[in-house]
Amino acid sequence: MSFFWIGTKPTLIILDPELMKEVLSDKHGRIQKPPRKPHIKLLSNGLSSLQGEKWVKQRKLISPAFHQEKLKGMTPAFLTSCIELIEKWKKKTYSQGYCELDAWHDIQDFTADVISRTAFGSNFEEGKKIFELQKEQSILVMQAVQSVYIPGFRFIPTKENKRRMNLDKEIVVNLRDLIRRKTLALESGKSSVDDLLGILLQCSRESSQADMNNLKTTGMPIDQVTEECKLFYFAGQETSSNLLTWTMIVLAIHPSWQEKAREEVLQICGKNMPSYEDLNHLKIVTMILYEVLRLYPPLVQQIRYTCKTTKLLIHHDREFWGDDAEDFRPERFSEGISKVSKDQKVAFFPFGWGPRICIGQNFAMIEAKMALAMILQHFSFQLSPSYAHAPNTITTLQPQHGAQIILHAQ
């Protein structure tokens, strides 16, 4: 088993040796993930939890939803959420021209809004309510995961266990209802295929039809669509909010980079809303986001069973990044990702690596670039004296005491 620890210090997790033998002898020979605690299944049993052939099939079905042209079609949804964030902050700075706020708090709302709109399109208000239930569920599940594991204890009707089970039922019932209605609306031509759920249902249907011609029946059953909808929230909301929050913190600490990024945005987009094409030209903004992902990766650790000893490659390793590995130097990425570390080894993998690389990485980069570009167009920002720098890993790398920022209207 190997630990790919990206962020700070590694911890050791010991797994059952018999189980390990079983997984290592997996005939597919693919790199395997260790099993998860049963509680985690309450969060989602979607793509990220599947292994072997099931994973291969599901990944193939879902991938089209994240292709560039589909993401381009979601630009209006990304823009709507960005405009709401900017308007919210404009109101807060309106009376004095500046204000102090916890950017992390508002950015969490923003990324929840983005994922609801892009996942559910016109049903986004209902989707958002379901995601709010998932938020409550994730807090309760993390409490359980962090306490001592007693097999079967999760079935004892304690107050927390009952709430977890009830939440699960409510989330599943609501999601199934939403999926059923979306399917009917798509079939009757009353809904367009421009959100993640619509694309997922369409890909699944096309795949079923193709397989029926080959006398096979595959496609995606409603239970699996439900699990994937749950996963969109868990995989895409918190990770993205961490990236944008750390970027604001780091740019507040490094005002010269904040200014360089603003100049670039104003040169490419002026004061207009950034277009999808504009985002591809934001070179400095992209370099900054990569350097933030190197120093503050939202997912700090990846664990895999491997067939042979594997060397750890980490984002802060001086061997790959040089003596200034701990410093914020976006210029490292001026030649792109492939040339970034010494000997061009794979030393930068905030989105994972290989076949299981994050399926939503382009989605996340579009979201972060668009939001950052619009924030830079409308505000300058500095750290508040009340900000305390304390990166903390719960499931993702979070600013433990929040991100207190002073915003100035531009």
**Judged by CB, which is closer to ligand HEM: 158, or 280?**
280
The binding site for heme comprises: 358
**Judged by CB, which is closer to ligand HEM: 99, or 249?**
249
Cα dihedral 35→37→39→40 (10° resolution): -50
Helices 159-187 and 124-146, interaxial angle, to 10°? 150
Smallest separation, CB 250 to ligand HEM (Å): 14
Smallest separation, CB 379 to ligand HEM (Å): 22
Q: Are 137 and 42 contacting, i.e. CB atoms less than 8 angstroms apart?
A: yes
Smallest separation, CB 127 to ligand HEM (Å): 13
Which residue has 């033998």 as its token pair? Answer: 21
The binding site comprises: 358
Q: What is the largest CA-CA distance in the chain?
A: 68
Half-sphere exposure of 314 (CA within 13 A, CB side): 21
**Judged by CB, which is closer to ligand HEM: 154, or 294?**
294
Smallest separation, CB 234 to ligand HEM (Å): 9
Separation CA 371–CA 85 (nearest Å): 9
Residues linked to residue 392 through DSSP beta bridges, in sequence order? 398
Smallest separation, CB 243 to ligand HEM (Å): 4
Smallest separation, CB 59 to ligand HEM (Å): 5
Neighbours of 82 (CB within 10 A): 22
Rounded to an integer, what is the distance from CA 93 to the centroid of its chain?
29
> What tokens appear for 122 in the block?
């016109």
**Judged by CB, which is closer to ligand HEM: 239, or 380?**
239
Determine the residue type at 373: A
Q: Are 114 and 314 contacting, i.e. CB atoms less than 8 angstroms apart?
A: no
Separation CA 231–CA 262 (nearest Å): 34
**Judged by CB, which is closer to ligand HEM: 100, or 317?**
317
Q: Are 48 and 231 contacting, i.e. CB atoms less than 8 angstroms apart?
A: yes
- Residue 194 carries which DSSP code? -
Residue at shortest CB range from ligand HEM:
360
Smallest separation, CB 355 to ligand HEM (Å): 7
Which residue has 């919210």 as its token pair? Answer: 88
**Judged by CB, which is closer to ligand HEM: 58, or 380?**
58
Separation in Å, CA 341 to CA 302, 338, 385: 20, 8, 35
Smallest separation, CB 52 to ligand HEM (Å): 12
Separation CA 244–CA 267 (nearest Å): 22
Which residues of this protein are in contact with ligand HEM, per CB under 6 A?
47-48, 59, 231-232, 235-236, 239-240, 243, 298-299, 302, 350-352, 356, 358-360, 363-364
**Judged by CB, which is closer to ligand HEM: 358, or 371?**
358
**Judged by CB, which is closer to ligand HEM: 110, or 363?**
363
Q: Strand 404-409's sheet: what is its strand order? A: 98-102, 404-409, 379-383
Separation CA 175–CA 123 (nearest Å): 11
